[in-house]
Structure 1
Amino acid sequence: MNILTQNSSLTISSLQIAEMLGSRHDKVKQSIERLAINGVIIQPPVGVEQSTDAMGRNRLTQVYVFADEQGKRDSIIVVAQLSPEFTAVLVDRWQELERQQAQPVFQIPQTLGEALQLAANQALQIEQYKPKVDHYNAVVERKGLLNATQVGLKLGMSAIALNRILEEIGVYNKSVKRSRVFKQAFVNKGYGVLKQTEQGQTQSLFTILGEAWVIEKLQCEGVA
């Protein structure tokens, strides 16, 4: 799979997704169009990409292009719908590219003293920031996660109405009375995560895959 970097924007095309999945490009485009019509993703812009046909001839193919944060989200949803087992591969690739893009230019130490000083500085930074990082990962980090209110807005309903339906279809663990907690099976599928609030309470948050699943499920059931 070849993800391009153009004008400082990370991009991936529908053709590249089709090649990664081993699927026909037209089928991938149809899935993208269906998800866009249903409001699950935003219709991506059209581009042109060079490809090789069965006879080994180069030709230009019209593709959909996913770019930046919105494109990352939507491309993951497309792959999750078409072939869930490839979702982790796509997520890992996006994260790898983002790390490469964000990584500062590394200055190679020129002397043994500089190398030792660099190692000492890095060790000190790790020691200083570890408590903050642990707290951020366990409590604060919410990027890419959605609460019931945010998911409900996509469906035109309140969080109360959405949660009532999700309870009925078995998303929440009814044995937990004080708060709504996802069933472990829902979490294991990558649809949701459990985070702690600053007050130590458990909060159920939907991943982008969970958001897509809820929307598809309710639309198929004729609820939304």
Structure 2
Amino acid sequence: MTSKEMADLTEKRHDSVKRTIDTLAEKGVISYPQVVDGEKSANGVVEKLYRIGKRDSYIIVAQLSPEFTARLVDRWQELEADAADPMKALNDPAKLRHVLLGYTEKVLALESRVDALTPKAEALDRLETASDGSFCLNDAAKALQVPPRKFTARLQQMGWIYRRPMGSTWLAYQDRLKMGVMEHKVVTGEKSDGTEWVSTQARVTAKGMARLALLIGGEQVDSCTQPKAGKQAAATGG
């Protein structure tokens, strides 16, 4: 309820009501009210109103004119009834304007948020769909601007990759392979003695890169913990 409505209910001057509100607020009896714009006068001056809550309005009216407290109670009941039935606003231009302004502000806020998130979403979409290939761990770290060692430690912490006992290569957990965020690639080469070596390489898919861009892209990962022994044992056990 506004201070203007309270002045009308108690048949007091609006400036007098505002002074009473200021005095009570300074004494800590009520909360400091919110200041809102009222109607514009003929000479173009916008009157400043106080917006008062239910509890404080009872205190203010009791201070101004105890005999009119019943009017205040009736008015609050009307306001609460209107709030319970939004269709009543359609018959009141002032209330309808207030409701529409409220929705307009919400829409503008949502549009602003969408505008801020759209470039990021488009970038992630391009990352996920531009290529059907995959990235080795070093290349993935560079693309996400995370130091390679910290990147692998973070993946290990999150349960994406692991090493077998005495193993030197990283492998992807089975659930990450099923999710399509990691894959294994068999790499071969020739040793100095002419024999062939075979290695399984864990690689991050384009889908995985999009996921990691949201999870750890650009974050500080200075303190990465190792996965628990139980999980490591379970992983190495197949």
Q: Same fold (TM over 0.5)?
A: no
Shorter-chain TM-score category?
Answer: 0.3 to 0.5
TM-score (norm 2): 0.33
TM-score (norm 1): 0.35
**Rg (Cα) greater in structure:** 2
